[in-house]
Structure 1
């Protein structure tokens, strides 16, 4: 009976943890539609997920923390724009990501842009709020910078 109880608690905890995971969109048009509906800006995370040391560090120190998760659910719609070296991507995803890299003038990774999604004449566009990258000091320091950008709107 004790084993069943322990197993049940484990699975309930596992389900609760999975339910709290953040949704990182890769389809920017889908994310824009959600951002417009929920009246939230997009957080566009430009990353080289499988080769960029600073990107991996930002993920570990900030983007995968409970503090960031709580903040993100309330404040932004998350979009990951990845430029991997060894992970295959569809041509459509590559074109979308490189188009956004050019549109936002991203020259290095990680870069995080905050932008308001808009559709003008049926075409997607953005109102850029500001950008940041890796910030030393963990989630508290990073979120202070992010809130400063979001509070400018």
Structure 2
């Protein structure tokens, strides 16, 4: 039983896409692995569409499997509740990312970038017609055309 639980936990960890917080590290990893960067601006404790996007799209098995193979994921979170506040260094880092990639302060905003930080596509908000499969397909099309 213990071996089964360890195996299931290992599988879950291996198939769950990990969101990074450091954009420079993500750029380095993307250049080494020839992957694209998906940068998500989120208000994790106040933005309803951000929470829904995280759950319905980013949390889906379809997206997770694709992301593990093809993307470096970065989340720039801007929580409002005092109990969820980030440390000063992370807040400054996220604000610098917003200054460069989200000057209008849109939430959610998801940006697909190449390893050099060049914007390939932006998704503003969470369109109701968006599904995990359609989102992955749009990234695949952009990835193919950017090579």
Equivalent residue, structure 1, for 2:91: 94
Gaps spanning 5+ residues in structure 2: where? none
Equivalent residue, structure 2, for 1:141: 134
**Bigger radius of gyration among the two:** 1
Q: How does 1:1-153 map to 2 (within 5 A)?
A: 6-86=1-81, 87-104=84-101, 105-118=103-116, 126-133=117-124, 134-135=126-127, 136-153=129-146
User: Which secondary structure state, in structure 2, belongs to the residue aligned with residue 117 of structure 1?
Assistant: coil
User: Which secondary structure state, in structure 2, belongs to the residue aligned with residue 140 of structure 1?
Assistant: helix
Q: TM-score, normalising length from structure 2?
A: 0.85
* Runs of 4 or more above 6 Å deviation: none
Q: 1:103 to 1:39 in 2, by over 3 A?
A: same
Q: Deviations over 1:114-148 (max 9, x none)?
A: 11233xxxxxxx21111114233421122233334
Q: TM-score, normalising length from structure 1?
A: 0.82
The number of equivalent residue pairs is 141
* Aligned-CA RMSD value: 1.8
Gaps spanning 5+ residues in structure 1: where? 1-5, 119-125
